[in-house]
Amino acid sequence: MKHVRMLALIFTSVAIVSSCGQAQKNKKGKEVKLETEQQKLSYAIGKDVANNLKTAGVEVDVEAFSRALEDVLTGKQLAMTDQEANQVIQDYQNRKMQEMQKEAEAEAVKYRAEGEQFLANNRSKEGVKETASGLQYKVITEGNGPKPTATSQVKVHYKGTLLDGTTFDSSYDRGEPATFGLNQVIRGWTEGLQLMNKGSKYMLYIPTDLAYGNNAPPGSNIKAGMTLIFEVELLEILK
């Protein structure tokens, strides 16, 4: 989707340049002076667009890109109609999205296999138990309070890690427990927390189908197909 946002940024930038007046012609290799506000703004916009294109991995032909800017800003005959240009952009976006989808699917297969191997090795370790769903858990501290139900509101401290030990979320790091309903979280949490008495601390080893499956949460280190590990401390069951 970053490619889609990038193209939108380019269009916006061209509109801004247009509002600043017509572009000055510049021979290839000739240094452009940055003396007036218009010159500085034009360069700043060009720099921003170029940096974003580079970051997004969008390769452009500089001469063709420059020609399009000049043609639009100077009112020359355009080499493409709006419909043709939009179709080219749409085709590019579709191709990139298909490529990204294939990459994500391949990653998911890899992470799923890694998770299955981890769980196969983990189930034989001392203290590790497994439920019928495939959820694995280990008791660190056993509390003596009541157990929550599938719809209980709970207050917990927790730390979530990937199989390589990377922490992706931690209430301990934030210095504040989390409160939520057990019907509002991933299935591994809903099941795992119901095994715990108030005051307990468990390790939960959650296979991908009880976590996020192939729908990885955006903006997270969690990828599709990943098995997750949580250290969870049940502090309170809220009324």
Active site residue 205: no
Q: Which of 206, 212, 229, 237 is catalytic?
A: 212
Active site residue 168: yes
Rounded to whole angstroms, how far apart are CA atoms 32 and 66? 14
* Whole-angstrom Cα Rg for the chain: 27
SS3 at position 155:
strand
Q: Which residues pair with 201 in a beta bridge?
A: 141, 233
Using DSSP, how many helices (H) and how many strands (E) does the chain show?
A: 6, 7
Rounded to whole angstroms, how far apart are CA atoms 6 and 40? 22
User: For residue 32, what is the DSSP state?
Assistant: P
Q: Which of 205, 222, 230, 237 is catalytic?
A: 230
Rounded to whole angstroms, how far apart are CA atoms 88 and 101? 20
Q: Which of 65, 71, 89, 169 is catalytic?
A: 169
Instruction: Take residue 89 and report the two structure tokens written for it.
Output: 């952009």
Q: In 10 A of CB 149, how many CB atoms?
A: 12
Active site residue 92: no
Q: Which of 65, 92, 118, 168 is catalytic?
A: 168
Q: In this structure, what are the phi and psi dihedrals at residue 200, rounded to the nearest 5 degrees?
A: -85, 155
Q: Which of 111, 158, 202, 205 is catalytic?
A: 158
Active site residue 111: no
Q: Which of 65, 118, 186, 209 is catalytic?
A: 186
Q: Which residues are catalytic?
A: 158, 168-169, 186, 212, 230
